[in-house]
A = this chain, B = another copy of it.
Amino acid sequence: MTITHIGLLAGTLTSAAAIPQVVKSYRTRRLRDVSIWQPVLLDAGMALWLIYGVVIHDLPLIVANSFSLFCYTLLIVMKIIYREDDSSCSSDYIGSNQ
């Protein structure tokens, strides 16, 4: 395994990390416990990582951060549009801890 493979695997894992949160948030329509500042700061940081990756011609950085940028933007949009649902507390949601 070369160092580029490690970088690509690292990028795949950190990018894939956004998927379960996006899926969970889309399914439950609840992001009450999710801080909006996390995806906002991640988006800002990943946009810079993307620039950094482009400048140093680093493929893992470019691919990973493009995908993450998309996912965390989705999360911000969901946090905003599901804001009203978050103010209620329905019983069917109890026990859904995953």
| A interface, CB within 8 angstroms of B | 3, 6-7, 9-18, 20-21, 23-25, 28, 30-42, 44-46, 48-49, 51-52, 55-56, 60, 83, 86-89, 91, 93-98
Contact = CB atoms under 8 A, between A and B. Distances in A.
A10 B41 contact: no
A44 B13 CA distance: 7
B14 A24 contact: no
A15 B35 CA distance: 14
B41 A16 contact: yes
Contact of A17 (B20, B30, B41, B95): B41
Given A32-B33, A35-B98, 19 more contacts: A6-B48, A10-B46, A10-B51, A11-B49, A13-B42, A15-B45, A16-B41, A17-B38, A17-B39, A17-B45, A20-B37, A21-B35, A24-B33, A25-B33, A33-B33, A33-B34, A89-B89, A89-B91, A89-B93
